[in-house]
Amino acid sequence: MPTRRLARVAATIAAGTLAIALTGCGAPPWADGGSGDGSTPKPTSTSTSVPTPVPNDLSAGSTQRTLAAGAVTATVNYWSDLTMDKWTASAVKPVQLSMVTTVTPNDGQKVFLQKATMVAVPGNAAQSFDALGAQTDQATTAPGYLVLDPYSYSQVFSVGPVPDEATFVTLQFTYDFLIQTTPTSNEYAKQTATDSVTVAIAQG
């Protein structure tokens, strides 16, 4: 009897040892970062915000626009002698323009520029700031500056300091033309053309 009892005890111990050994073969849940349910953890993705590009019509150095005002077509070139990296908020930023016009139908009447105005409005992606004071070139001769091709008009306007938060400035141009009603007439028709040029403000 004692011999049988010892054999049963030995068999029980062996079975327990085998169960422990089998249980130890698997990796513990925390070894692979899992939650303990055997599932594979999914990688998490992080989103990065892409800054909004700042518009700049003078990024190539200059820009040309064709403006229509009734029978008048004006071709205007804009540029700046100040390089774009120096268009900082605190700098005085010059803007040059040159203009020439044509008239349709061309019966020999002349086209005159009576007034040119520029208003600079600084802003950023979130808001617009107060406009700077308007700059106006009023013709000093009557009825105005002759701008019919081949005669042209040139002028320099300046954009003063803008808020440090501004990332660009929008230049709003207005051109007032007088057109002879006939080639020999002292009567004129008035036409107005508008344009908008956006220039980036250099940061840092």
Q: Is the Cβ–Cβ distance between 188 and 148 less than 8 Å? A: no
Q: Is the Cβ–Cβ distance between 99 and 76 less than 8 Å? A: yes
pLDDT tens, per residue, the chain with 204 residues? 454 454 454 445 445 544 444 444 455 544 555 555 555 555 555 555 556 678 899 999 999 999 999 999 999 999 999 999 999 999 999 999 999 999 999 999 999 999 999 999 999 999 999 999 999 999 999 999 999 999 999 999 999 999 999 999 999 999 999 999 999 999 999 999 999 999 999 997
Ramachandran sector of residue 140 (left: φ over 0; alpha: ψ -120 to 50; beta: rest): alpha
122: number of Cβ within 10 Å: 23
pLDDT digits (tens, 9 = 90+) for 96-146: 999 999 999 999 999 999 999 999 999 999 999 999 999 999 999 999 999
Q: What is the DSSP string of 8-75?
A: HHHHHHHHHHHHHHHHTTSPPGGGGT--SSSPPPPPP----PPPPPPP-TTTTSEEEEEEEETTEEEE
Q: Is the Cβ–Cβ distance between 159 and 166 less than 8 Å? A: no
> Selecting from 2.60.40.1470, 2.60.120.10, 3.30.420.40, 1.10.10.1100, what CATH number does the domain 62-200 have?
2.60.40.1470
pLDDT at 13: 47
- Domains of the chain by residue range: 62-200
pLDDT at 53: 79
pLDDT at 23: 47
Distance in angstroms (rounded) separating the CA atoms of residues 204 and 201: 10
Q: Is the Cβ–Cβ distance between 181 and 188 less than 8 Å? A: yes
